[in-house]
Amino acid sequence: MSRSPSTPPTLEDVARVAGVSRATVSRVVNGTRNVDRKIQEVVRAAIDEVGYAPNRAARSLVTKRAGTIALVVSGAGEPGEEGAFASRVLSDPFFGRVASGVLGFLRTRGVHPVLMVSDTERAREDVLAFLRQGSADGALLVSTHAEDPLPARLVDAGLPAALFARPARPMPISYVDLDHQAGAKLAADRLVGRGCRQVATISGPLDVPASQDRLTGFRDAVARHGSPYVPIAEGGFTAGSGEAAMERLLAEHPGVDGVFAANDLMAQGALAVLHKHGRRVPEDVALIGFDDSGPALTCRPRLTTVRQPVEDMAAEMARLLLDHVDDPASPPRSVIFEPALVVRESA
Amino acid sequence: MSRSPSTPPTLEDVARVAGVSRATVSRVVNGTRNVDRKIQEVVRAAIDEVGYAPNRAARSLVTKRAGTIALVVSGAGEPGEEGAFASRVLSDPFFGRVASGVLGFLRTRGVHPVLMVSDTERAREDVLAFLRQGSADGALLVSTHAEDPLPARLVDAGLPAALFARPARPMPISYVDLDHQAGAKLAADRLVGRGCRQVATISGPLDVPASQDRLTGFRDAVARHGSPYVPIAEGGFTAGSGEAAMERLLAEHPGVDGVFAANDLMAQGALAVLHKHGRRVPEDVALIGFDDSGPALTCRPRLTTVRQPVEDMAAEMARLLLDHVDDPASPPRSVIFEPALVVRESA
DNA sequence: TTGAAAGCGCTAACAA
DNA sequence: TTGTTAGCGCTTTCAA
């Protein structure tokens, strides 16, 4: 133990105590070979004695690595909603799963994520500046908005980045994604397979590629079963929008007996409306969600849903980014994951 | 516009283009007075021309400020559950609101939060190391666990920190908290006021101070209305634990007609059980939650609940931390917020 | 008001 | 295998 110095111990201090040079201490701290066993021990003892911790800023300055990446939630806040975007997105269990997957992977690599929200032009500039400053070595982007200009800006600036979903416009950037069409097909097959004769879907925002794919996949699969027409109501991935969509569907197609909602939150909203109208689920109307997030389990009946391996996808996204940071010359890569149907009570 | 150099522009580059010294450029970048107007303009033009962004590592090295803080979600993961803790907590809408409040405040101060989870001894060491390295200027702690050793470790190490809730054991550390007893009283008064004659409560984990306070506050208030005995079932702040607790309550006290759940998630679970047993809410059993989080709104009936101003509290916590970072000699402070009853349909 | 110069703590050649 | 030394890019005295 030692008195608490006014200033933290440096390599120099350790070197002095151990009776070696700074370089040698640096070598043992960084695990470089070519250091005598005995000296290693002496140095390690000295490190403990003075309570040394390497200064990150100094290290970053020479290695040109921040050891952090930006985890950006990007989207378009309604003008003037002032932080509501952040609150909404961060409270979405889907984002929690993403963060958790990222954290799990990064933890093994000594890299830390800085949380950022980019819902305004100003915020976007902040993200860019943060990266240009070298405060983070790259960015992980979870977009909630198709027209998000951030990915392109990142590419243009030559900053390492990886996306959680295929960008709306093709661009040279790494991403992970789900085979949404396959997921929608799983739902369609289940609904038709259990005897539904009039299926409909509550889609996500149609300017989002994932929503498009889920819709297309669902339509195609249903068509293959012989029904060319599928009523659709567009939602916004929130429970409230799911309610509104279900109301519309019921009004225009009272005979609907099977519904595929493009995410669990909307399915949850639909469920409430179905209850309100006295339709039993799944007896009168079978309902399938998408994501397998927390709400799918708290619903009654519990939601049959299409599971995205979100944590795995997030971890892979982090891996893609770090690989790119390590080798900036490597070409962008994309990894597509397969969904699975989780059968519970709603269908 | 300029060609993209292999290495980012530095102060030196700007200085050369502007025809001044590094020091002068530094002064205009940092907004120091005592720089001739004309020179300022020249320098600014040069900055734009070369696309300069100050290197954070270099700046941190001399200012001894990282410009980032750690946002730590701390708790005890079940041994071997491997990341499940992170997933659970980060998916909790409550944490989303905290993050959002923190982000909102930090955004105005140019500080960024690094997301960390500390659910193991190893992870706790990482947090401490991160701070000692100077990677972050302080820590914001959201604990889910009463026996969390991290706050004390932070205090011992003399590292700046602020907590989201009063620590289980008194210690010299800043925190924000809610007047939980007042919140519970709001719930009790509402329940008794609407005519409930046999009220019960689903508490949070009783080793958590907030749970204790909510329980005590509820009991006291109910006692003041003339009923000295309040059945209680302990839960774990999850929907599943709320279900189990409600089952127990119903089994032991079938006549219960008013329930106060210590958070919305448990209330949601209780609601499902109540439905299952054919009890109408609020006609047969009135139900009140706590937090006013997303699920309170997606429930049917919508939950009457005690609202915590979580975002405001989180912002204040961030303020307390930054104040302490700016003036390490200042004593710890605590700020207590007042809850409000949000009346909806369940009670 | 401006410039020169001394570090901040570390890594990585290069020498020994 | 170890030590010497030259920076990394920035802020900040101190002189001018």
pLDDT 10s digits, B329-343: 999 999 999 999 999
Say whether the CB atom of B135 is under 7 angstroms from strand C: no
Say whether the CB atom of B35 is under 7 angstroms from strand C: yes
Question: Predicted confidence band at B290 (pLDDT cuts at 50, 70, 90)?
Answer: very high
To test the contact with chain B by mutation, choose from A116, A133, A238, A299 the residue with the greatest count of B C-beta atoms within 10 A, namely A133
> Which residues from B are below 8 Å from A99, CB to CB?
86, 90, 115
Please give the single-letter amino acid code of residue A252.
E
Tokens of B176: 């924000």
Phi, psi for residue B207 in degrees, rounded to 5: -90, 0
Quick one: pLDDT at residue A3?
Answer: 44
Nearest to B53 among A93, A113, A129 (CB): A129
Asked whether the beta carbons of residue A61 and residue B66 sit closer than 8 angstroms, the reply is no
Q: How far is the CA of B222 from the C1' of C8 (A)?
A: 62
Asked whether the beta carbons of residue A56 and residue B123 sit closer than 8 angstroms, the reply is no
Beta strands, E only, B81-240: 112-118, 139-143, 161-163, 174-178, 199-203, 232-234
Alpha-carbon separation of residue B14 from A158, B43, B60 (angstroms): 21, 7, 20
Say whether the CB atom of A120 is under 7 angstroms from strand C: no
Quick one: pLDDT at residue B76?
Answer: 74
Task: With CA atoms as reference, report the closest residue to A141 among A242, A200, A72.
Answer: A72
Give the minimum alpha-carbon distance from A189 to chain B in angstroms, rounded to a whole number.
28
d(CA A212, CA A237): 13
Asked whether the beta carbons of residue B117 and residue A95 sit closer than 8 angstroms, the reply is no
Which value, to the nearest 10 degrees, does the dihedral of the CA atoms of residues B201, B207, B212, B215 take?
Answer: 10
Question: Sheet of B258-261: strands edge to edge?
Answer: B232-234, B199-203, B258-261, B286-291, B304-307, B340-342
Give the minimum alpha-carbon distance from A100 to chain B in angstroms, rounded to a whole number.
5
Average pLDDT, chain B: 93
Kindly give the confidence (pLDDT) of every residue in chain A, 347 residues in length, as a single tens digit, with 9 standing for 90 and above.
444 457 899 999 999 999 999 999 999 999 887 888 999 999 999 999 999 999 999 999 999 999 999 999 987 766 666 678 888 888 888 899 999 999 999 999 999 999 999 999 999 999 999 999 999 999 999 987 878 899 999 999 999 999 999 998 999 999 999 999 999 999 999 999 999 999 999 999 998 899 999 999 999 999 999 998 999 999 999 889 999 999 999 999 999 999 999 999 999 999 999 999 999 999 999 999 999 987 888 888 999 999 999 999 999 999 999 999 999 999 999 999 999 999 999 99
Nearest to A115 among B55, B66, B115 (CB): B115
Q: What DSSP state is assigned to residue A236?
A: -
To test the contact with chain B by mutation, choose from A90, A107, A155 the residue with the greatest count of B C-beta atoms within 10 A, namely A90
pTM of the complete model: 0.92
For B66, name the nearest residue in chain A, comparing CA atoms only.
A57
Q: How far is the CA of B10 from the C1' of C2 (A)?
A: 20
Which value, to the nearest 10 degrees, does the dihedral of the CA atoms of residues A297, A298, A303, A305 take?
Answer: -40
Quick one: pLDDT at residue B58?
Answer: 96
Say whether the CB atom of A60 is under 7 angstroms from strand C: no
Nucleotides of strand D under 7 angstroms from a protein beta carbon: 1-5, 7-13
Tokens of B247: 């089952």
Alpha-carbon separation of residue B104 from A15, A78, A145, B249 (angstroms): 43, 16, 20, 41
Q: How far is the CA of B101 from the C1' of C13 (A)?
A: 48
**Chain length of chain A:** 347
In this predicted model, what pLDDT tens digit does every residue of B103-113 receive, in sequence order?
A: 999 999 999 99
Say yes or no to pLDDT of B47 above 80. yes
Nucleotides of strand C under 7 angstroms from a protein beta carbon: 1-5, 7-13
Nearest to A87 among B129, B135, B311 (CB): B311
In this predicted model, what pLDDT tens digit does every residue of B242-274 receive, in sequence order?
A: 999 999 999 999 999 999 999 999 999 999 999
CA angle B278, B282, B288 (to 5 degrees): 115
Asked whether the beta carbons of residue A55 and residue B61 sit closer than 8 angstroms, the reply is yes
Q: What DSSP state is assigned to residue B204?
A: -
Say yes or no to pLDDT of B212 above 80. yes
Q: How far is the CA of A106 from the C1' of D8 (A)?
A: 26
d(CA B330, CA A29): 35
Give the minimum alpha-carbon distance from B262 to chain A in angstroms, rounded to a whole number.
17
Give the minimum alpha-carbon distance from A328 to chain B in angstroms, rounded to a whole number.
12
Q: Which helix (H) or strand (E) holds A175?
A: strand A174-178
Alpha-carbon separation of residue B336 from B173, B178, B310 (angstroms): 14, 5, 12
Question: Predicted confidence band at B175 (pLDDT cuts at 50, 70, 90)?
Answer: very high
Quick one: pLDDT at residue A82?
Answer: 66
Distance of CA B115 to the CA centre of its chain: 12
**Strand nucleotide closest to residue A55 (CA to C1'):** C9
**B56-63 and A56-63 helices cross at what angle (nearest 10)?**
150
Task: With CA atoms as reference, report the closest residue to B217 among B282, B299, B288, B266.
Answer: B288
Nearest to A53 among B66, B115, B129 (CB): B129
Question: Predicted confidence band at B81 (pLDDT cuts at 50, 70, 90)?
Answer: low
Q: Is B151 helix (H, G, I), strand (E, B) or coil?
A: helix
For A123, name the nearest residue in chain B, comparing CA atoms only.
B107
Nearest protein residue, CA measured to C1' of C7: B62
Alpha-carbon separation of residue A227 from A189, A224, A250, B181, B219 (angstroms): 12, 7, 19, 59, 60
Say whether the CB atom of B44 is under 7 angstroms from strand C: no
Q: Is B250 helix (H, G, I), strand (E, B) or coil?
A: helix
Say yes or no to pLDDT of B2 above 70. no
Under 8 Å CB pairs connecting chains A and B tally to: 164
Nearest to B300 among A56, A100, A275 (CB): A275
Asked whether the beta carbons of residue A4 and residue B297 sit closer than 8 angstroms, the reply is no
Asked whether the beta carbons of residue A298 and residue B269 sit closer than 8 angstroms, the reply is yes
Q: Is A51 helix (H, G, I), strand (E, B) or coil?
A: coil
Q: How far is the CA of B219 from the C1' of D15 (A)?
A: 73
Q: Which helix (H) or strand (E) holds A162?
A: strand A161-163
Nearest to A133 among B4, B55, B133 (CB): B55
Helices and strands: H and E segment counts in chain A: 14, 12
> Which residues from B are below 8 Å from A123, CB to CB?
107
Q: What is the DSSP string of A277-308?
A: TT--TTTTSEEEEEE--HHHHHSSSPPEEEEP
